[in-house]
Chain A
């Protein structure tokens, strides 16, 4: 049963058999619908149940028609703010925790990282409701605890106020996911070889300056990966908003992001009927935003980053 080793090989069927199931399912359920959605955004519902090609008219409607553009730009800016909060709060905290965790001879490190990661495995339904209860003025847990440390006057029903609801939701999401950047950066810090750190110590670079001058430059590629993962995750988020504020992303759409806008556009809500073509248009815009972010990372940032091989 030797395999023929002539120059022109016959088709090796086992390669086809190995690849076929994965490629077929992936293509049929992921790639084709993705392009199907992009395609659908170029059409609109015509007379009867026909599809009418309208080119980019749906996008023009979405960006400029007052019935759509207000909601769309509101969701886009909210989404951007959602992302900015994650970048400014989640990732620095993740890096700081990872740096502390990776300090040598730290006891209970395994316990800490297991415990801090727990919120990341819970579903949005659990996390959303837990925080809804805790921040509820009805239950009074949050105001009581703030009273105990003397800042009780600062409490207000953050989730119910237009000015603070989005930031509060972003912080809840940060609370949930801080374990992920922590773990990835922790792994990167552990992979820095001891010789490098010993050499730094010989030169008198220790403690905080060792972190800033030696470790941080070495983990920059991982920070890049964490940032792009955060970006994709945030511009695709939906569940937390839906669980805490409902499909209407209240109060008064102040927590509406692209994911919840897509859901409402596609399925309709209250009096507005669902519209698959405008839904596809929103999804296409999300696709290009994510694509732009990923390309910027791949071609603009990743290739310029210096990598060190040990």
Chain B
């Protein structure tokens, strides 16, 4: 291939990728810049960047005054972190048992736990609500944590078991000879060695929990337990004609997710490309 053809091909590749990147980011960018403009500027020059005349933070004031966003944010944070902790701990424990010990029913147990990867937990909603009503857990964050833990476990066990199998046997046997209990081996040897996999599972588990609308809407719609996703959905519905407020609320909702993503994106991409899915 000649050098010129090469340059031509690579600039064509860049042109396509740049075009798609703009398509992916421009809608988000548009909302963010307009959230900082006055109402008139939003409508007259929607595509312009905020200037000194059009700069206006009135939307953000409305959001912070009217909505309980701090509380919703806190709820989302508690639910996500608690579920994440339980998924990682229980998932790693089960994965260790499946990968480390040979016992009757090992394969069957693995298949049983993997069932939940393909069948969405949402389909059990009717009965989940009945259980939560019976246990008096409706409108509590606990109900959400339980559901999300169950939802996250299958994939976590599946991926972590794959990595647990790669932990060197010599290391564990040496520890056994030194008299460490199986629990100590799990916590001090296996768990630290699969830390990269834990981070990957964490990102995969976190995103759907943070973004979920279905279970907060059904299990915990009260004002004290609303998550950020549900809270913004309701706020946006009420303020639908107040464009400043809607744009500001969207910007506030976008910001933490994107920052978290940028921090963890290398981990996420490495996790996907490492080939848990082949």
Contacts and interface: CB of A to CB of B under 8 A. Distances in A.
> Are these two chains actual partners, yes or no?
yes
Interface of A: 1, 3, 12, 14-15, 17-19, 21-23, 25-26, 28-34, 36-37, 40, 93, 96-97, 100-101, 103, 105-108, 110, 112-119, 121-126, 129-131, 133-134, 139-141, 144-145, 175, 178-179, 183-184, 186-188, 190-191, 206-207, 221-222, 225, 228, 232, 236, 238-239, 242-243, 259, 262, 266-267, 276, 279-280, 283-284, 286-287, 290-291, 294
B107 interface: no
Contacts of A31: 115-116
A123 B181 CA distance: 44
Given A123-B213, A183-B272, A243-B233, A115 B130 contact: no
B262 to A, nearest CB: 7
16 contacts: A1-B181, A14-B183, A19-B98, A22-B91, A33-B127, A37-B124, A118-B24, A121-B257, A122-B211, A125-B233, A125-B253, A130-B250, A141-B47, A183-B269, A284-B123, A290-B120
A283 B125 contact: yes
Nearest to B98: A19
Interface in B162-204: 176, 179, 181-183, 186
Interface string B74-100: 000000000000100111011011100
Contacts of B124: 30, 33-34, 36-37, 283
Contact of B1 (A206, A242, A266): A206
Give the contact-size bracket for chain B: 35 or more
B10 A106 contact: yes
Contacts of A40: 126-127
Contacts of A280: 126-127
Interface string B118-160: 1111111111101100000000000000110111011001000
Contacts of A23: 94, 109, 113
Given A114-B265, A118-B28, A276-B126, A29 B211 contact: no
Nearest to A265: B126
Contact of B254 (A34, A37, A122, A287): A122
A186 B21 contact: no
Contacts of A118: 24-25, 28, 258, 261
Contact of A26 (B113, B182, B262): B113
Contacts of B57: none
A259 B212 CA distance: 14
B94 A190 contact: no
B216 to A, nearest CB: 11
B213 A125 contact: yes
Contacts of A242: 213
A267 B154 CA distance: 28
Interface of B: 1, 9-10, 13-14, 16-17, 20-21, 23-25, 27-28, 30-31, 42-43, 46-47, 86, 89-91, 93-94, 96-98, 101, 103, 109, 113, 115-116, 118-128, 130-131, 146-147, 149-151, 153-154, 157, 176, 179, 181-183, 186, 207, 210-214, 218, 229, 232-233, 236, 243, 246-247, 250, 253-254, 257-258, 261-262, 265, 269, 272-275, 277-278
A103 B151 CA distance: 37
A39 B153 CA distance: 24
A25 B153 contact: yes
B253 A145 contact: no
